[in-house]
Amino acid sequence: MKKTGIKLLIATLLLMSFAGKPIDNNGKTRYVLIETGYGTMKVKLYNETPLHRDNFVALVEKGFYDSLLFHRVISNFMVQGGDPESKNAAAGKQLGNGGPGYEIDAEFIPTLIHKKGVIAAARESDQVNPQKKSSGSQFYIVQGQVLTQEQLKQMEDKINFPKRKQLVFDYILKPENKALKQKLDSLQKANDMASLNAAYSEVALKLEPEYQKLELFHYTGEQKNDYLTIGGTPHLDQNYTVFGEVIDGLSVIDSIALVKTDSNNRPLKDVIMKMRVVEE
């Protein structure tokens, strides 16, 4: 093996070790500067998500992100980067599949939401990644939109839906509800979806008191205020790991989000990044 190959292998193994266990950080907050042609963003990394924090710091310190692109930009949604294949990528090349060769276990924290300015880990879809593990290097920074009270209520219901679904299914499978299950099976076999959905809704309504006793997800007053004022993307909450936030340079996100993009949401003019860890 060539020396360069050996160095690459060692670097990869070191990065994988950072992704597997958190470093003793002694409660210290880590900060990273993301420099672009549109300005500089200062990011505070959350200690609540140590696996992502330490992995990100390790990559930044090794210069992994330098000269990579924000390769996916969707206005009113987010700007995404961190694909190593984006470095010196030919114009028009579709990007977004590269990484360091490992994933990171999800760290979903109810207090950390997708408000404008947060940095979160990209990942593969649920179909191929049911554990919702994060990409080892790709991340996105939220721009989002301002939400309404009704939209936030819908998001809470969506996040809590799996618990409601499980409650209904457990009830149907009880031995004393055998007749109900046979009825539902018959409706499904007959492909009578209208009657089937009505029957499930009737069961859910009956179980509403029990559902309300469960430990459900609800946005706090502060979180609601963030979504109602600065905005964000709440439909991603508890599905993608949030591990930091931009504390200076929010306007940079808006500037990047305005760039013209191709059919794959890649900016027509490269948006190049450079990062460094700063101490405070």
Beta strands in 153-273 (DSSP E): 242-248
Q: What pLDDT, on a 0 to 100 scale, did the predictor assign at position 183?
A: 95
Q: What is the mean pLDDT of the chain?
A: 92
Q: What is the pLDDT of residues 167-183, one digit of tens each?
A: 999 999 999 999 999 99
Share of the chain above pLDDT 70, in %: 91
Q: Which of 53, 106, 103 is nearest to 239 (CA)?
A: 106
Q: What pLDDT, on a 0 to 100 scale, did the predictor assign at position 10?
A: 38
Question: Residue range 250-258: average pLDDT?
Answer: 97
Element (H or E) spanning 41, and its range?
A: strand 39-45
**Is 191 strand, coil or helix?**
coil
**Is 258 strand, coil or helix?**
coil
Q: Which of 13-27, 49-63, 254-268 has the lowest mean pLDDT?
A: 13-27
Residue 255 has pLDDT above 70, yes or no: yes
Domain spans in the chain, listed from the N-terminal domain onward: 27-146+230-278, 150-212
Q: What pLDDT, on a 0 to 100 scale, did the predictor assign at position 280?
A: 78
Find the length of the chain.
280
Query: Which residues are paired to 245 by β-bridges?
Result: 44, 118
Two tokens, residue 107: 């760290």
Higher pLDDT: 28 or 145? It is 145
Residue 134 has pLDDT above 50, yes or no: yes
Two tokens, residue 67: 């000269």
Q: Do 138 and 96 form a contact (C-beta atoms < 8 A)? A: yes
Give 26's pLDDT tier (boundaries 50, 70, 90).
low
Please measure the distance between the N-terminal and C-terminal CA atoms of the chain and give it in whole angstroms: 41
Give the CATH number of domain 27-146+230-278; options: 2.60.120.10, 3.40.640.10, 2.40.100.10, 3.90.1150.10.
2.40.100.10
Distance of CA 70 to the CA centre of its chain: 16
Residue 12 has pLDDT above 90, yes or no: no
Question: Residue range 64-85: average pLDDT?
Answer: 98
Residue 241 has pLDDT above 60, yes or no: yes
Residue 216 and residue 25: Cα distance in Å, rounded? 31
Residue where the block lists tokens 């979903």: 108
Q: What pLDDT, on a 0 to 100 scale, did the predictor assign at position 6?
A: 39
Q: What pLDDT, on a 0 to 100 scale, did the predictor assign at position 27?
A: 73
- The count of other CB atoms within 10 Å of the CB of residue 280 is 8
Residue where the block lists tokens 């959905």: 197
DSSP structural state of residue 235: G
Q: What is the pLDDT of residues 266-277, one digit of tens each?
A: 999 999 999 999
